[in-house]
Amino acid sequence: MTHTRRPLILLGAVVATSGLFSAFLVNDAVCLVLAPLVLELTLALGRRPVPYLLAVAMASNVGSTATITSMCSWSLSSIGASPKSDW
């Protein structure tokens, strides 16, 4: 906790953790697990929690696109999207 007293280091750690976890897990679950932890940590350190909670949400969205299998179902279906009459 001594290194997390600096706001940018804490923000970077939150972004890296959220992004890394959501690359391998569903980003909804990552947000649900990390949000209470980040909220408790920021309040204990006397920081405003909103920027850190937004960082969790944004980093999990970016991290979920980091692997080839993460968004495969919707991305592949949109690549060759055509009207049903062409099938």
Q: Give one DSSP letter per residue of 26-52, joined into a string.
A: -HHHHHHHHHHHHHHHHHHTT--SHHH
For 26-47, write each residue's pLDDT tens digit.
Answer: 888 999 999 999 999 999 999 9
For 58-73, write each residue's pLDDT tens digit.
Answer: 999 888 887 765 555 5
Is residue 81 pLDDT above 60, yes or no?
A: no
SS3 11: helix
SS3 content of the chain, % helix, strand, coil (to 5): 75, 0, 25
Average pLDDT, the chain: 81
Calculate the alpha carbon distances from 62 to 4, 10, 32, 36, 84 in Å: 23, 18, 16, 20, 32
Q: Which two tokens stand for residue 25?
A: 């897990």
